[in-house]
């Protein structure tokens, strides 16, 4: 007599789960994801990036906030997550909004005298911008250790104002809130 078998999730594929974490690279990133048993991966991220001027006074000084260019990105991506053993390889693309400030040439400095020292504030010309762009991400997540995964992600964000290419070290917490779908 033939037996009837139902399609089941492969042993290496994760159940439908939520995850999230932090990324460190050319800025700070907060990210989250939803991975289905069918390998669909939905990613969301928010990143704040900053960089200093290449020349002029105030170069390399962290305490002068007005000597840095800044960019904030909010992105939604969809892609494919492929379990390899207990690790995960993934790739995704989507749409993102960026807003930022790009420094221009050095303009002037002001000095203020404190009790023990004098501080200088450096001013640069700048322009503000906003744009929509195409974010792309390819990454790897190591096997979980106590519910946390280390990862490495290569990211690109193509937009007409200031495109970004970077590598981020990521930390992921898997299965936030537990599996959403249980086999019966």
CA within 13 Å, CB half, 72: 3
List the structure tokens of 64: 């002068």
State yes or no: pLDDT of 14 exceeds 90: no
pTM above 0.85, yes or no: no
State yes or no: pLDDT of 178 exceeds 70: no
Query: With pLDDT > 90 as the criterion, what percentage of the chain qualifies?
Result: 45
pLDDT, position 5: 33
For residues 39-62, one letter each, b for 16 or more C-beta atoms within 10 angstroms of the residue's C-beta and e for the rest, the string is bebbbebebebbebbeeebbeeee
How high is the mean pLDDT of the chain?
80
The segment with the largest mean pLDDT, out of 16-20, 41-45, 61-65, is 41-45
Q: Could you give the CA distance from residue 125 to residue 144 in angstroms, rounded to a whole number?
A: 47
Per-residue confidence band for 90, with pLDDT thresholds at 50, 70 and 90: very high
């Amino acid at each position: 007599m033939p037996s009837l078998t139902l399609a089941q999730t492969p042993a290496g594929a994760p159940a439908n789960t939520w995850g999230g974490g932090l990324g460190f690279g050319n800025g700070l990133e907060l990210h989250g994801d939803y991975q289905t048993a069918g390998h669909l991966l939905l990613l969301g991220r928010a990143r704040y990036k900053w960089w200093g001027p290449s020349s002029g006074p105030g170069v390399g000084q962290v305490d002068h906030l007005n000597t840095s260019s800044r960019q904030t990105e909010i992105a939604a991506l969809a892609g494919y997550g492929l379990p390899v053993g207990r690790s995960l390889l993934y790739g995704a693309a989507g749409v993102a909004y960026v807003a930022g400030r790009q420094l221009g040439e050095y303009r002037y400095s002001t000095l203020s005298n404190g009790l023990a020292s004098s501080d200088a504030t450096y001013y640069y010309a700048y322009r503000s911008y906003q744009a929509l762009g195409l974010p792309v991400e390819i990454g790897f997540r190591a096997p979980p250790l106590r519910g946390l995964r280390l990862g490495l992600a290569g990211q690109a964000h193509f937009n007409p104002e200031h495109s970004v290419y970077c590598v981020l070290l990521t930390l992921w917490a898997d299965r936030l809130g537990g599996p959403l779908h249980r086999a019966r």
